[in-house]
Amino acid sequence: MTLERLYERMEIRKRIVELERLKAKAQPGTGDWFDEDIEFLNYKLQLREGQA
C-alpha cells in the first residue's frame, strides 16, 4: 500500500467519524439525513481496502 492510499483511507475514515458525530447531535428525526453519505463513504473505503 502506498502512503498516498493510506492518507486517502485516513481522510475517508475521518469524514465518516465526523458525519457520525453530526448525526448523533442532530435533531430528532433528522439523523437519517446522514445515513446515505455515511453508507457511500463506507462503500468507498471498502473499495480502497480491496485495492490495498
Give the model's pLDDT for residue 7.
93
pLDDT at 3 over 70: yes
Q: How far apart are CA 32 and CA 18, in angstroms?
A: 15
C-alpha–C-alpha distance, residues 15 and 18, integer Å = 5
Is the pLDDT at 52 greater than 60, yes or no? no
User: pTM for the complete prediction?
Assistant: 0.79
Q: Residues 15-37: what's their mean pLDDT?
A: 89
Span 11-39, mean pLDDT?
Answer: 90
Q: What is the mean pLDDT of residues 3-13?
A: 91
Q: What is the pLDDT of residue 12?
A: 93
Q: What is the sign of the dihedral through the CA atoms of 24, 29, 32 and 33?
A: negative
